[in-house]
């Protein structure tokens, strides 16, 4: 199985012309839109709150766009007004866009919650110097009751077109009604950021609700009045199970605005390290799954392999978990031939060991019986909840940002996008193994293509005058399509909004838990590979 | 063999959400193999001797941390792991865990690093065993 996949050739991908879609949007929506912008492979569409009905119906029903998927709804405060970001995607036309809805200025009430936020905010203001204060958004994060009612009304309008929007509602009533069984946050990484409220009849689950209040971590500093260069050192904590991806995503976004072209070697090394991180994340996933299943031998074997990959990552970047390696327009340092040689030697060993780990885990009939026909996600459900990444591919839909969006230099490299069939837990585990083989295949090709040319290390941005501007960039991280929305001015970041894939998997988990047994809860949630760091945000309002 | 009879066997309970947890879990595997020192990871605070605090902690997490600390059996020890707990939180500079809880929790060992390596965590536990 591994050999067949390893030697397979993938047919060339469909080319997308974003310019054509941009023109069509301008033609059909005319004066209903305030502004339209193209940033890299993404489109940002500015609209007013009045026109939301017209625009959504046009986007959904017009065959030129046919936008079927709503990925997430994020709220963020800006300098003059507050905004709502809808991340939308079209599978049939192969494009994605960000809909930016202007909510206007929200009146400030003297609510207790608001005052608390203000106090926290004034603390962080006092620690900044006078020069930086200009770049802070003085409109604060407001969670007053009036605003939440208004927010829920908007969500209801969106849910006429996209049914999964209802999940983004602020619903405190649901939390109290579902409480036959409460499972508090666990110890294992990926199961520690939620409390699960379950309503059950005997051993069958009727309703499940995941409460994320334990992950609401106060994070004022990271998102405002910070320089690009300072942000790059800490941005990897936004997805610490695969730390390189937020860095790459951020750098692609800024390079796109400033129109910086990176050399071929820089892109190749970025791809190489991101594939190494993908392998390490997938192996850790297998370790976690085997821990849940009780297969201790596989858990230990997987940790040995992960350690090998982590040591190579440490050799290249200097850190095992948080790399801090990518720079705007370049890299932290060049990779010497000796370093590349160690990877070449280790790759063969990793390939053989992972193959034997797969046979050990999945040729065991007791384990496959535990995984088979549990937590099934249909194609329709996957599209309805806007899943992405390996979880989507395990349902049988071939969609990968690396191929479909021309990310970095993936178009020059031949690799296969593995697809599952039934969308159950077994498929989800199998697809991770297959992706590891493909990543090894990609790395082998990259090692043959890297040349001796020197690498540009970094660019200086002292005293650069950049006008106020916004961009989006997306990468394929191990959990799915990872997006970052940015607002820049001069050398400072005004707003940074990560739009992350694990939220969709979480909402999907709430649905597929209905009808399954109580004993399978932890297995189903662990098989979806939720990353706990993606939920540390102040931008979600539910 | 002498080691097993002289030193105390310890059970560990880990709290918090953060990247240090990956490095702490890595010590279980055969490469670092923390169990050769008689150290175990448990999933119930009632069984544990040592509380490991790491990562980012929310306001609900703080309340839960204190209930977990109270349900630990005596004698109990606390290890603070990572920059976010030892110094100030990475995502919010004004939040200082050790200052906030200095009257409630008595921390025995501070383990700096972002995240600390698995070897450092094992070294910290060996130091604690000497103390016991």
- The ipTM estimated for the assembled molecules is 0.91
- Cα gap A292→A529, rounded to integer Å: 13
A 10 A CB-CB count for A282 gives: 26
- Cα gap A145→A151, rounded to integer Å: 10
- Judged by DSSP in three states, A329 sits in coil
Q: What is the per-residue pLDDT across A274-328, written as a single tens digit (0 to 9) for each?
A: 999 999 999 999 999 998 898 889 999 999 999 999 999 999 998 888 888 998 8
For the cut 90, the answer to whether the pLDDT of residue B35 exceeds it is no
Residue A381 buriedness (CB in 10 A; 0-12 / 13-18 / 19+): middle
- Enter the DSSP assignment of A345: H
Q: Which residue of A has its CA nearest to B15?
A: A187
For an interface test with A, give the residue of B13, B15, B22, B120 to mutate (most A CBs within 10 A).
B22
Query: CB-based contacts of A439: which residues, under 8 Å, 6+ apart?
Result: A275, A276, A278, A279, A282
- Residue A354: name the closest of A241, A274, A237, A435 by CA: A435
- Cα gap A353→A335, rounded to integer Å: 26
Whether residue B91 and residue A218 make contact (CB cut-off 8 A), yes or no, is: yes
Of residues B58 and A362, more confidence is placed in A362
Q: Where are the beta strands (DSSP E) in A165-256?
A: 181-183, 195-201, 204-211, 226-227
Q: Which residue has the tokens 């610490």?
A: A240
The reported pLDDT for the residue numbered A277 is 94
- Cα gap A507→A272, rounded to integer Å: 32
Nearest 5°: CA angle at A357, between A354 and A362?
Answer: 125
- Residue A524: name the closest of A433, A429, A396, A436 by CA: A429
The end-to-end CA distance of chain A, in Å, is 44
> Which one of A184, A221, A241 has the shortest CB-CB distance to B91?
A221
- Judged by DSSP in three states, A263 sits in coil
**CA-based nearest distance A478→chain B, Å:** 16
User: Which two three-digit tokens encode residue A117?
Assistant: 């936020």
User: Which two three-digit tokens encode residue A452?
Assistant: 């001796």
- Enter the DSSP assignment of B64: H
Residues of B in Cβ contact (< 8 Å) with A216? 58-60
The reported pLDDT for the residue numbered A6 is 53
Residues of B in Cβ contact (< 8 Å) with A123? 94
- Cα gap A485→B37, rounded to integer Å: 47
- Cα gap A461→B107, rounded to integer Å: 42
Give the C-alpha distances (Å, rounded to integers) separating A45 from A98, A349, A387, B9. Answer: 6, 48, 22, 61
Q: From edge to edge, which strands make up the β-sheet containing B109-111?
A: B39-41, B10-15, B50-54, B77-81, B109-111
The reported pLDDT for the residue numbered A111 is 46
Q: Is A499 left (phi over 0), alpha (psi -120 to 50) or beta?
A: beta
Q: What is the per-residue pLDDT across B118-129, written as a single tens digit (0 to 9) for each?
A: 999 999 998 888
Average pLDDT, chain A: 82
Whether residue B30 and residue A322 make contact (CB cut-off 8 A), yes or no, is: no
- Cα gap A195→A214, rounded to integer Å: 8
The reported pLDDT for the residue numbered B111 is 92
User: Which two three-digit tokens encode residue A351?
Assistant: 């390939």
The reported pLDDT for the residue numbered A60 is 87
User: Which two three-digit tokens encode residue A7?
Assistant: 């030697």
Query: CB-based contacts of A195: which residues, under 8 Å, 6+ apart?
Result: A182, A183, A184, A185, A210, A211, A213, A214
- Judged by DSSP in three states, A103 sits in strand
- Cα gap A449→A371, rounded to integer Å: 40
User: Which two three-digit tokens encode residue A491?
Assistant: 């050398």
pLDDT beneath 70: ranges in chain A: 1-16, 79, 105-144, 171-178, 219-225, 537-542
- Judged by DSSP in three states, B118 sits in helix
Does A234 touch chain B if contact means CB atoms closer than 8 Å? yes
Q: Where are the beta strands (DSSP E) in A268-413?
A: 326-327, 330-331
**CA-based nearest distance A124→chain B, Å:** 7
SS (H, E, C) A53-93: HHHHHHHHHCCCCCCCEEEEEEEEECCCCEEEEEEEEECCC
Whether residue B19 and residue A186 make contact (CB cut-off 8 A), yes or no, is: no
Is residue A197 within 8 A of residue A211, CB to CB? The reply is yes
User: Which two three-digit tokens encode residue A204?
Assistant: 């069958």
The end-to-end CA distance of chain B, in Å, is 19
Domain A2-7+223-501 grouped into CATH 3.40.50.720: no
Whether residue A240 and residue B117 make contact (CB cut-off 8 A), yes or no, is: no
Nearest 5°: CA angle at A31, between A27 and A37?
Answer: 70
The reported pLDDT for the residue numbered A436 is 93
Is residue B84 within 8 A of residue B116, CB to CB? The reply is no
Q: What is the per-residue pLDDT across B84-99, written as a single tens digit (0 to 9) for each?
A: 899 888 877 778 888 8
The reported pLDDT for the residue numbered A119 is 45
CATH code given to domain B6-131: 3.40.50.12280
- Cα gap A410→B124, rounded to integer Å: 44
Find residues 28-57 of chain B whose CB sits inside 8 Å of chain A: 28-31, 41, 43, 56-57
> Which one of A237, A240, A303 has the shortest CB-CB distance to B30?
A303
SS3 content of chain A, % helix, strand, coil (to 5): 50, 15, 35
The radius of gyration of chain A from alpha carbons, rounded to an integer in Å, stands at 23
Is residue B117 within 8 A of residue B23, CB to CB? The reply is yes
- Rounded (10°) angle between helices A425-449 and A337-362: 160
> Which one of B21, B60, B95 has the shortest CB-CB distance to A214?
B60
């Amino acid at each position: 199985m591994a050999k067949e996949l390893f030697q397979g050739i993938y047919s060339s991908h469909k080319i997308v012309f974003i310019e054509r879609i941009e023109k069509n949007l301008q033609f059909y929506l005319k004066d209903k839109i305030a502004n339209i912008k193209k940033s890299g492979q993404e489109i940002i569409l500015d609209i007013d709150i009045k026109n939301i009905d017209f625009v959504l119906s046009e986007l959904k029903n017009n065959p030129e766009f046919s936008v079927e998927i709503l990925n997430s709804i994020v709220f963020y405060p800006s300098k003059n007004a507050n905004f709502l970001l809808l991340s939308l995607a079209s599978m049939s036309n192969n494009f994605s866009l960000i809909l930016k809805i202007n909510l206007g200025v929200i009146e400030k009430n003297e609510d207790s919650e608001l005052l608390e936020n203000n106090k926290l905010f004034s603390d962080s203001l006092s620690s900044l110097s006078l020069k930086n204060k200009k770049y802070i958004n003085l409109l604060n994060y407001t969670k007053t009751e009036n605003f939440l009612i208004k927010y829920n009304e908007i969500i209801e309008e969106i849910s006429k077109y996209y049914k999964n929007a209802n999940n983004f509602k602020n619903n405190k009533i649901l939390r109290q009604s579902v409480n036959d069984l409460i499972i508090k946050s666990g110890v294992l990484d990926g199961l520690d950021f939620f409390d699960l409220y379950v309503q059950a009849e005997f051993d069958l689950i009727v309703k499940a609700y995941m409460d994320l209040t334990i992950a609401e971590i106060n994070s004022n500093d990271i998102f405002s009045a910070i320089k690009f260069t300072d942000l790059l050192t800490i941005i990897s904590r936004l997805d610490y199970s695969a730390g390189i991806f937020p860095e790459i995503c951020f750098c692609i976004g800024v390079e796109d605005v400033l129109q910086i072209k990176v050399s071929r070697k820089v892109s190749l090394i970025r791809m190489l390290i991101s594939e190494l991180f993908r392998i390490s994340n997938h192996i850790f996933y297998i370790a976690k799954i085997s821990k849940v299943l009780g297969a201790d031998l596989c858990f230990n074997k997987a940790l040995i392999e992960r350690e090998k990959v982590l040591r190579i990552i440490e050799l290249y970047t200097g850190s095992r978990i948080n790399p801090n390696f990518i720079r705007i327009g370049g890299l932290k340092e060049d990779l010497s031939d000796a370093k590349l040689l160690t990877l070449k030697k280790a790759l063969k060993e990793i390939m053989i060991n992972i193959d034997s780990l797969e046979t050990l885990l999945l040729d065991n009939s007791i384990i496959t019986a535990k995984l088979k026909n549990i937590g099934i996600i249909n194609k329709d459900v996957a599209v309805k909840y806007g899943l992405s990444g390996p979880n989507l591919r395990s349902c049988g839909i071939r969609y990968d940002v690396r191929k479909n969006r021309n990310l970095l230099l993936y178009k020059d490299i031949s690799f296969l996008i593995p697809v599952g069939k039934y969308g159950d837990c077994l498929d989800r585990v199998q697809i991770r193994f297959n992706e590891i083989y493909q990543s090894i295949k990609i790395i082998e090709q990259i090692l043959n293509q890297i040349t001796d040319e020197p690498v540009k290390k970094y660019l200086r941005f002292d005293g650069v005058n950049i006008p106020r501007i916004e961009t989006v960039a997306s990468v394929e991280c191990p959990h799915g399509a990872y997006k970052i929305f940015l607002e820049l001015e001069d050398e400072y970041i005004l707003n940074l909004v990560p739009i992350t894939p694990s939220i969709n998997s979480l909402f999907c988990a709430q649905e597929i838990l209905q009808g399954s047994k109580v004993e399978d809860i932890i297995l189903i949630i662990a098989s979806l590979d939720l990353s706990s760091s993606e939920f540390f945000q102040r931008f979600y309002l539910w | 063999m002498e080691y097993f009879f002289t030193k105390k066997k310890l059970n560990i309970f880990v709290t918090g959400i953060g990247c240090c947890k990956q490095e702490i879990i890595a010590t279980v595997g055969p490469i670092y193999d923390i169990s050769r020192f008689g150290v175990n990871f448990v999933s119930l605070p009632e069984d544990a001797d040592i509380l490991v605090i790491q990562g980012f902690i929310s306001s609900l997490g703080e309340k839960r941390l204190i209930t977990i600390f109270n349900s630990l059996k005596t004698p109990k020890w606390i290890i603070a792991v990572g920059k976010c707990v030892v110094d100030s939180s990475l995502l919010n500079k004004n939040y200082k865990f050790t200052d906030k809880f200095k009257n409630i929790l008595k921390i025995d060992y501070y383990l700096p690093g972002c995240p600390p390596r698995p070897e450092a965590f094992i070294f910290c536990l060996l130091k604690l065993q000497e103390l016991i």
